Amino acid sequence: MGELNIGLIGAGLIGRTHSIAYRMVKGFFTEKTKEVSLKVLAEENEEAARNGAANLGFDEWTADYRELLARKDIRLVIVAVPNYKHKEIVLEAIKHGKHVLCEKPLAMNAPDAKQIFDAAEKAGITHGIGFNYRKAPAVLLIKRWVDNGMFGDIVSYRSSFIQDWGIDENGPLSWRFQKKLAGSGSLGDLGSHAIDMARFLIGEVSEVVGTVSTHVHKRPISTGGLGHKQDTGTAEYGKVDVDDICDVLMEFENGAQGGMVSSRLAPGRKNHFEFEVYGTKAGVFFDWERPNEVLFSSVDMPGDQSGFNRILVGGFQHPYGENLWPIPGMGIGFAEPFAVQLFEMIDAVLNERKASPGFYDGWKVNQVLDAIESSVKKRAWCKV
- Note the residues at the interface with ligand NAD (CB under 6 A): 9-15, 42-44, 48, 65, 80-83, 85, 103-104, 130, 132, 189, 225
What is the closest distance, in whole angstroms, from the C-beta atom of residue 38 to ligand NAD in the complex?
15
What is the closest distance, in whole angstroms, from the C-beta atom of residue 44 to ligand NAD in the complex?
4
What is the closest distance, in whole angstroms, from the C-beta atom of residue 176 to ligand NAD in the complex?
8
ω before 105 within 30° of 0 (cis)?
Answer: yes
CA distance 44 to 48: 7
Nearer to ligand NAD, 51 or 309 (CB): 51
Judge contact between 220 and 170, C-beta under 8 A: yes
Nearer to ligand NAD, 256 or 335 (CB): 335
What is the closest distance, in whole angstroms, from the C-beta atom of residue 289 to ligand NAD in the complex?
14
Nearer to ligand NAD, 252 or 275 (CB): 275
Nearer to ligand NAD, 11 or 208 (CB): 11
Nearer to ligand NAD, 4 or 9 (CB): 9
Nearer to ligand NAD, 42 or 113 (CB): 42
CA distance 330 to 70: 42
Nearer to ligand NAD, 82 or 185 (CB): 82
Q: What is the 3-state secondary structure (H, E, C) of the chain?
A: CCCEEEEEECCCHHHHHHHHHHHHHHHHCCHHHCCEEEEEEECCCHHHHHHHHHHHCCCEEECCHHHHHHCCCCCEEEECCCHHHHHHHHHHHHHCCCEEEECCCCCCCHHHHHHHHHHHHHHCCCEEECCHHHHCHHHHHHHHHHHCCCCCCEEEEEEEEECCHHHCCCCCCCHHHCHHHHCCCHHHHHHHHHHHHHHHHCCCEEEEEEEEECCCCEEECCCCCCCCCCCCCCCCEEECCCCCEEEEEEEECCCCEEEEEEECCCCCCCCEEEEEEEECCEEEEEECCCCCEEEEEECCCCHHHCCCEEEECCCCCCCCCCCCCCCHHHCCCCHHHHHHHHHHHHHHHHCCCCCCCCHHHHHHHHHHHHHHHHHHHHCCCEEC
C-alpha closest to that of 271 among 140, 119, 132 = 132
What is the closest distance, in whole angstroms, from the C-beta atom of residue 335 to ligand NAD in the complex?
10
Return the residue nearest ligand NAD (CB atom).
12
What is the closest distance, in whole angstroms, from the C-beta atom of residue 255 to ligand NAD in the complex?
30
C-alpha closest to that of 158 among 273, 267, 294 = 273
Nearer to ligand NAD, 225 or 315 (CB): 225
What is the closest distance, in whole angstroms, from the C-beta atom of residue 362 to ligand NAD in the complex?
11
Nearer to ligand NAD, 77 or 155 (CB): 77
What is the closest distance, in whole angstroms, from the C-beta atom of residue 77 to ligand NAD in the complex?
11
What is the closest distance, in whole angstroms, from the C-beta atom of residue 149 to ligand NAD in the complex?
30
